[in-house]
Structure 1
Amino acid sequence: MTEKSSQERDYLPGLGKHYLMPFYDVLHRVSGLHAVHRQMVEVAGPGAGHRVLDIGCGTGNLLRTTGKRHRDVELVGVDPDLKMLARAERKLRRAGLKVRLDRGFAQELAFPDASFDRVFSSLMLHHLDGESKGEMLAEVRRVLKPGGLLVLADIAHHGHVAHGIAAAGFTVEPTRTRRLRMFGDVGIEVAKVH
């Protein structure tokens, strides 16, 4: 955990409150979110040597799923919550995975242009207001290499998420929908940068 944002921002922690963090991984298991993560990794299809970024990585569940299936990719996670990152670091180390974890914000990614082949975001977009969503998508587009993919899962809002991604300059595939216990429908968006 080395990088720090150039400016501080307010953020909504996972589950909405810091004191609920111990229940984050329990909810992940009970809700069936692991199946969404498996599907995200499958459709992303990272290849050998790819750099993969998870924005809003929380406790590292999606990074762990990716790393277990694709040992030959470079994994990077970003989250504004230092406690989540500390938990992710322990969990990923126990899984035998080498992952770079940085404190940072989706709207202000501290990475060079065209530096990632795949970018993930799971159940994080709804935490951002409209302006911040646009800033995040612009940042994702900036850090993705030409032909790179954004694979984003969020609470399904009848095409609004896909429309916002398309408006940011991505080519968006049809939404894949999956039902989660306690959350309802989750849309998985796959978008390519030109």
Structure 2
Amino acid sequence: MAHHPQDHDYVPAMGKDRLLPFYDLCTWLLGVGRIHRRLVELAAIEPGQRVLEIGCGPGGLVIRVQRTHPDAEVVGLDPDPLALAKARRKAARAGLTVRFDQGKAGDLPYPDESFDRVLSSFMLHHLDGEEKRRAMAEVRRVLRPGGQLHVVDVAGHHHGRFAHKMQRSELLRDNAGDGIPDLVREAGFTDVRTGERGRLHTTFYRATR
């Protein structure tokens, strides 16, 4: 695994712990909220369903899910205790009952077939190839039959300067082209779909357990 700042065995939400206070401002300026809103729409969450976000960071997406679907049971997982503390404070201020757990996508602390939806937003490109494969195997394990994985990330087919940038980036290279749908199929998912492209060179994906 690559060496990360401050000897973490994960990539902090903003790359470095000291930048975490600027996370919400940066995501707002980049329009990430609109991307999250679309991901929630595409996930088509139903009342009573259990929803997990892997790599939830400071909680922007899971808090949006809980606001939009108050009858769903929503869980956010992240390895970063500082990001989770920030997420818990935000959820408490909003009066929301999101559950936050510390852990990694490649070793999910949940029983088999315990979720209806798993969401991933701008997280997969933080993992190396082996970590991605472990994460997808774990996601498939915790999804119920018929459950869905919904992903948005800097990924997909791009041209010109940005395509070259993706190929040069250790973090983004695996996401280029059909990297994510190939990864998901390899984990045993079916009905793998590449959806629309969004802001920030993102692509949306869906797959069924």
Q: TM-score, normalised by structure 1?
A: 0.90
- How far apart are 1:81 and its partner, in Å? 0.6
Gaps of 5+ in 2: 1-7, 156-175
Matching of residue 186 in structure 1 with residue 185 in structure 2: no
- How far apart are 1:174 and its partner, in Å? 2.3
Q: How does 1:73-84 map to 2 (within 5 A)?
A: 73-84=72-83
Local SS of the residue matching 1:59:
coil
Question: Hey, what does 2:180 align to over in structure 1?
Answer: 161
- How far apart are 1:112 and its partner, in Å? 0.1
What do you get for the CA RMSD once the two structures are aligned? 1.0
Question: Hey, what does 1:37 align to over in structure 2?
Answer: 36
Whole-Å separation in 1 of the counterparts to 2:101 and 2:68: 22
Identity across the alignment (%): 49
Local SS of the residue matching 2:76:
strand
Local SS of the residue matching 2:194:
coil
Local SS of the residue matching 1:147:
strand
Question: Hey, what does 2:193 align to over in structure 1?
Answer: 173
Whole-Å separation in 2 of the counterparts to 1:133 and 1:32: 26
Does the CA-based 8 Å contact 1:80-1:104 persist in structure 2?
A: yes
Does the CA-based 8 Å contact 2:120-2:151 persist in structure 1?
A: yes
Whole-Å separation in 2 of the counterparts to 1:187 and 1:154: 6
Whole-Å separation in 2 of the counterparts to 1:166 and 1:23: 36
Whole-Å separation in 2 of the counterparts to 1:140 and 1:150: 8
- How far apart are 1:175 and its partner, in Å? 2.9
**Structure 2 residue identity aligned to 1:173:** R
Whole-Å separation in 2 of the counterparts to 1:107 and 1:125: 11
Matching of residue 61 in structure 1 with residue 60 in structure 2: yes
Gaps of 5+ in 1: 1-8
Whole-Å separation in 2 of the counterparts to 1:176 and 1:145: 25
**Structure 2 residue identity aligned to 1:189:** Y
Q: Which structure's relative contact order is higher, taking Cα pairs within 8 Å and 6+ residues apart? A: 1
Question: Hey, what does 2:133 align to over in structure 1?
Answer: 134
Whole-Å separation in 1 of the counterparts to 2:134 and 2:202: 22
Does the CA-based 8 Å contact 1:54-1:63 persist in structure 2?
A: yes
Deviations 1:18-47 (A, max 9, x none): 111111111110111111111111111111
Higher share in helix: 2
Local SS of the residue matching 1:53:
strand
Does the CA-based 8 Å contact 1:53-1:119 persist in structure 2?
A: yes
The alignment covers a number of residue pairs equal to 181
Does the CA-based 8 Å contact 1:162-1:175 persist in structure 2?
A: no
Q: TM-score, normalised by structure 2?
A: 0.84
Does the CA-based 8 Å contact 2:63-2:98 persist in structure 1?
A: no
Does the CA-based 8 Å contact 1:115-1:144 persist in structure 2?
A: yes
